[in-house]
Structure 1
């Protein structure tokens, strides 16, 4: 039998500060509110964990005795007004709680020392972080999300193999704050080995805090450019050296412009795919309506004639008064995959 949570909701009582109390400093005011909020989060955490355990029991029973499609579980979720994604997030939280306790890392009663977000982030952290946080919780210390993040940053900054030795050693010696080095590690993890080495080379030459900040920003732009470029269909079947192109943009101090260009190109491609789907569907609907109509429906025929300006191979669309009354004329040419010539685009005033 799973032990019941030890927190008693009936014992909740807070001495909240008076917002009109002038002799109370802002620091003390915020501290008292944070303490009350933390206790509420502890109750919320216990509630979420137990809901996750309940949902897990319902799901597992359905697996063993249901129809194999989980319809009983889904019906139960509908009756409880819980979405499927929310249900599985609660089950994952319950699994995380049980794993920490079952593995002997965390005592059951020590769960009460966590805020909800702190517990979730601890369950997702590296094993070393889990042990350190659990030991502190077992000693009766309150665990906040800020503490988990700080400890995670320190561990990441001091141990990551993505960093050059000069940066890692300075971090271990507290000469570089982990809160600045950890974001650099996260951004470096998104880059290719060549891009990582380029940034590390700069850091070796200047292992100071300003360089760390600059390279974090640079790595962030490089990561955005990489993500956008990999999603572009225009680059498929092209022998492009994206690493070299990014290096050249970096040398020109134009990484931001390159990332923005990739983003706009991705938007255009996505819009065209949606447009093509809508264009084909409108064409089919227009043809079906035309077959159904006839001389007895002259107004409908007139409407369908007008819609033909959007369903043919040449489309004309007004861009409106904000664009000076310009009209956009597009010619659509559906080609085989071997033909890569783009269709012509014209803007007529």
Structure 2
């Protein structure tokens, strides 16, 4: 059974659906069926569901895209009509745009002549998404395989993508590229190194390239890939931390020292956590301000006739004042317990 392309987006009430999934699954307690035959029947059913799921989601994405574009044209331009449409159907915004992205990818591959509509049936859903994210050259190789009737899985797409990266990247030292070509070093180790290297400035790329060229083996490659990952994390996070900018820290020299003493991992995590803490502080302040405004509004709208509402406001006083207080752990103190107090200072008058 193969899931066909939908010709309608909805089946009217009282009308039998055009397409219905029906399986005769093997009895798990049947001792007469061999394990090989059992797995074969299960795999067949699973593949049909996978193909059906992919085509359903592509069409859902097309429907969502149509609704979104219509709402953009007829509403205030801020997309509120589309968001309300999603809310009525209990679809999250992220889920909707993920489906729209899938539909866009399908249309791009098909309209660009990369894929024939019937070739979509050769993909699992995850393999199709992985193909859409790949380089055009990888898309072409995967499309050719699908057109030949090969079953396309996510693993095969990633393998082709890794091979293409390993063979085409200008960032690889010749020593490493040669070993990748003769499969002395598997491409699954080479591709992550290239992808991490692409995130770094040229100066740091050169340092890591030289390290790999000197010892072109799997262990060195894995170690340097990890270093590249932490370097990228450090550089990205350091640019976001306002505290570091204010103190005029020499970030590059600090990075060189972390590399020299072997604590790059911890230093990258340190700076990354600092960036996260600043973001949390900003979110805390805006939430606290909103809580204060809402508390004041409820207080003004209530009175002596609403004692329970006033009791609610009093209970929330530990969060709406200048000193925020929260009890962590066991309030009875029988196990771990700690009181957290944070003070928000009044704004200084200019």
Deviation at 1:265, TM superposition (A): 2.5
Find the aligned partners of 1:122 and 1:56 in 2 and give their Cα distance: 21
C-alpha displacement at 1:33, in angstroms?
4.0
- 27, 47, 58: which is aligned to 1:38? 47
- 8 Å CA contact retained: 2:57, 2:99: yes
Give the 3 Å change call, closer, same or farther, for CA 55–272 of structure 1 in structure 2. closer
Give the structure 2 partner of residue 119 of structure 1: 128
After TM superposition, the structure 1 = structure 2 runs for residues 295-314 of structure 1, keeping only pairs within 5 Å, are: 311=321
Q: Return the alpha-carbon distance in structure 1 between the equivalents of residues 81 and 40 of structure 2.
A: 46
Indicate whether 1:193 and 2:205 are aligned: no
Q: 1:164 to 1:51 in 2, by over 3 A?
A: same
- Cα distance in structure 2, aligned partners of 1:170 and 1:254: 30
In the aligned structure 1, how far is the partner of 2:295 from the partner of 2:80? 40
How far apart, in 1, do the equivalents of 2:280 and 2:65 lie? 41
Taking only aligned residues, the RMSD between alpha carbons, in angstroms, comes to: 4.1
1:205-264 CA-partner distances (Å, limit 9, x unpaired): 101111111111222222222232222111124443323322221221112221232234
Who is 2:226 aligned against?
217
Unaligned runs of at least 5 residues, structure 1: 338-349
Aligned length: 324
Distance in 2 (alpha carbons) for counterparts of 1:286 and 1:97 = 49
8 Å CA contact 2:176–2:216 kept in 1: the answer is yes
Identify if the C-alpha distance between structure 1 residues 164 and 335 changes in structure 2 by more than 3 Å, giving closer, same or farther.
farther
2:235 equivalent among 206, 213, 226: 226
Q: 1:122 to 1:264 in 2, by over 3 A?
A: closer
Establish whether residue 171 from structure 1 lines up as the match of residue 185 from structure 2.
no
Structure 1 equivalent of residue 257 of structure 2? 248
1:265 pairs with 265, 270, 274, which one? 274
Q: CA deviation at 1:84?
A: 3.8
Q: CA offset at residue 75 of structure 1?
A: 5.3
8 A Cα contact 1:56 1:91, kept in partner: yes
1:317–1:327 contact (8 Å) kept in structure 2: yes
Give the drift of 1:327.
8.2
Corresponding residue for 1:13?
23
Trace 1:120-159 onto structure 2 (pairs within 5 A): 120-159=129-168
- Cα pair 2:318 2:325 within 8 Å, conserved: no
TM-score (norm 2): 0.74
Pair 134,166 (structure 1): closer, same or farther in 2 beyond 3 Å: same
The offset of 1:184, in angstroms, is 1.3
Q: Could you say which residue in structure 2 is the equivalent of 1:341?
A: none
Alpha-carbon contact 1:9-1:43 (below 8 Å) kept: no
- Which shifted more, 111-120 or 53-62? 53-62
Could you say which residue in structure 1 is the equivalent of 2:216? Answer: 207
